[in-house]
């Protein structure tokens, strides 16, 4: 091997502040990074894959869901992760973008709320001791999906709040 770049990285073992599952869409990456910092998550185990939460909620195949669950399991085992943030985002190409909802942002948000709940329930079922937090990333910020939104019968946007 031949060294082509010098950079001193911290070599000490660490405890992850959270595992973060989100889409690789570059348009949201900065918002996610800044949001994590605001949440005091300095050492995240990033699980960045096309679709983010979709890989758990509506996987393309069984392999995809199992693979992502295994990644979360590894973060818990190797880095003592106690918290999982699961995210999806507006205009995500894996859902056919906003166009799939005919430009209706409320319909899109409602669909993602259902998806995020399903992903969160799967994570909680697999890892009962872990705190699971679903978020919807829009182009104006990060929206928390409240756990009681469905039960209270409120609309998608009433049941969410910007973080
Ligand atoms: Zn996406």
Q: Which of 86, 29, 91 has its CA nearest to residue 55?
A: 86
CB 111 within 8 A of CB 148: no
Give the separation between CA 24 and CA 28, rounded to whole angstroms.
8
Give distance in angstroms: CA of 52 to centre of ligand 1: 7
For the cut 60, the answer to whether the pLDDT of residue 17 exceeds it is yes
Give distance in angstroms: CA of 154 to centre of ligand 1: 26
Give distance in angstroms: CA of 2 to centre of ligand 1: 36
Give distance in angstroms: CA of 93 to centre of ligand 1: 5
For the cut 50, the answer to whether the pLDDT of residue 18 exceeds it is yes
Give distance in angstroms: CA of 76 to centre of ligand 1: 25
Give distance in angstroms: CA of 135 to centre of ligand 1: 13
Give distance in angstroms: CA of 13 to centre of ligand 1: 31
In whole numbers, what is the pLDDT of the chain averaged over residues? 92
Strands (E), 44-159: 44-48, 83-89, 131-138, 141-145
* pLDDT at residue number 153: 47
Give distance in angstroms: CA of 27 to centre of ligand 1: 9
Give the separation between CA 121 and CA 29, rounded to whole angstroms.
25
* pLDDT at residue number 148: 54
Give distance in angstroms: CA of 83 to centre of ligand 1: 22
* pLDDT at residue number 81: 98
- Whole-number CA gyration radius for the chain: 16
Which residue is associated with the tokens 């660490």? 14
Give distance in angstroms: CA of 3 to centre of ligand 1: 34
26-73: per-residue pLDDT in tens? Answer: 999 999 999 999 999 999 999 999 999 999 999 999 799 999 999 999
* pLDDT at residue number 163: 66
60-80: per-residue pLDDT in tens? Answer: 997 999 999 999 999 999 999
* pLDDT at residue number 156: 45
Give the separation between CA 152 and CA 44, rounded to whole angstroms.
32
Angle at CA of residue 117, ends 55 and 156, nearest 5°: 120
106-162: per-residue pLDDT in tens? Answer: 999 999 999 999 999 999 999 999 999 999 999 999 999 987 544 444 444 444 566
């Amino acid at each position: 091997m031949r060294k082509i770049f010098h950079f001193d990285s911290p070599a000490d073992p660490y405890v992850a502040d959270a595992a973060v599952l989100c889409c690789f869409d570059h348009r949201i990456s900065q918002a996610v990074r800044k949001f994590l910092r605001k949440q005091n998550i300095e050492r995240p185990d990033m699980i960045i894959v096309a679709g983010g939460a979709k890989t758990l909620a509506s996987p393309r195949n069984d392999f995809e869901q199992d693979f992502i669950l295994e990644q979360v399991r590894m973060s818990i085992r190797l880095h003592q992760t106690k918290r999982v943030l699961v995210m999806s985002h507006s205009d995500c190409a894996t859902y056919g973008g906003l166009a799939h909802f005919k430009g209706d942002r409320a319909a899109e948000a409602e669909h993602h709320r259902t998806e995020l709940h399903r992903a969160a329930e799967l994570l909680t079922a697999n890892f009962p001791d872990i705190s699971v937090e679903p978020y919807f990333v829009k182009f104006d910020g990060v929206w928390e999906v409240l756990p009681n939104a469905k039960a209270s019968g409120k609309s998608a946007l009433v049941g969410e709040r910007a973080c």
